[in-house]
Amino acid sequence: QKEVEQDPGPLSVPEGAIVSLNCTYSNSAFQYFMWYRQYSRKGPELLMYTYSSGNKEDGRFTAQVDKSSKYISLFIRDSQPSDSATYLCAMSEVDSNYQLIWGAGTKLIIKP
Amino acid sequence: NAGVTQTPKFRVLKTGQSMTLLCAQDMNHEYMYWYRQDPGMGLRLIHYSVGEGTTAKGEVPDGYNVSRLKKQNFLLGLESAAPSQTSVYFCASSYWRELNNEQFFGPGTRLTVL
């Protein structure tokens, strides 16, 4: 079993829909939780990060961490075709925060 | 700033050939990483470096070697390429003081081994 599980998709939704992307993990020592976005044939770029539990909002994006369930989510409101990309979750422990453990990535397609 | 650059962008090798992938960053980052990305498997860490002159193994180091002679450069070598090394290779760098360890990625190198 992988330390981080993420449904690879693809997930196809109409423009304007609310998108929910999720990852589950098994290591209770993870404290940093990140979402990276990767456009086709490009390198990943950091979208959001959260330390420990709770929610974080940035414009149309909301990241949630539920440590009791070992479950993290990324919500995208009013989705746009430009949001079409692969979204990768990544996590790390406090004392080895330079090493990230990655999910496989979910391919998201927003249909105009 | 160019950020993280990778050379070459594409390469086709025959089994048994060798090659070196070059990564350069101009952000004065201490940490540098080499990943490979395969369909359905996400990013897997090959080797990483926490400073000039230091390297360490990641999750999938076999068949690869690395060197970090200068802070801004991180080289990934394949001594005898195998078809299983066909992949997209990404280099990344990060600043050690950042708690969230934001990693900045290069554009990738697409390698095919025949």
| Pair of tokens at residue B102 | 């934001």
> Chain B neighbours among A 21-80 (CB < 8 Å)?
32, 34, 41-46, 49, 51
Report CA torsion sign: B56, A87, A24, B110: negative
Q: Which of B5, B89, B101 is the best mutation test for A, with the most CBs of A within 10 A?
A: B101
Backbone angles phi, psi at B69, to 5 degrees: -80, -30
Residues 72-101 in B contacting A (C-alpha not used; CB under 8 Å): 90, 92, 94, 96, 99-101
pLDDT of the residue at B105: 97
pLDDT at A51: 86
Q: How far apart are CA A37 and CA B58, in angstroms?
A: 22
Give the chain B residue whose CA is nearest to the CA of A87: B42
B57-101 pLDDT, tens digit per residue, is 999 999 999 999 999 999 999 999 999 999 999 999 998 766 667
How many CB atoms neighbour CB B65 within 10 A? Answer: 14
Provide block-wise average pLDDT over 10 residues at a time, chain A (112 residues): 88 97 95 94 94 90 95 97 97 77 95 95
Chain A hits for B4, Cβ within 8 Å: 43
A45 interaction partners in chain B (CB closer than 8 Å)? 104-105
- Region B5-28: mean pLDDT is 96
B38-59 per-position pLDDT tens digit? 987 889 999 999 999 999 999 9
B106/A43 Cβ within 8 A: yes
Among residues 2-21 of chain A, which lie with CB inside 8 Å of chain B?
4, 6, 8
pLDDT attached to residue B100: 66
Give the model's pLDDT for residue B39: 86
Close Cβ partners of B91 (under 8 Å, ≥ 6 residues apart): B4, B6, B21, B23, B25, B32, B33, B34, B35, B74, B76, B105, B106
Residue B70: strand, helix, or coil? coil
Residue B97: the pLDDT is: 63
Distance CA A111, CA A15 (A): 5
* pLDDT score of B82: 97
DSSP string, B73-105: EEEEEESS--GGG-EEEEEEEE-TT-TT-PPEE
User: Is there a contact between A104 and B41 if contact means CB atoms under 8 Å apart?
Assistant: yes
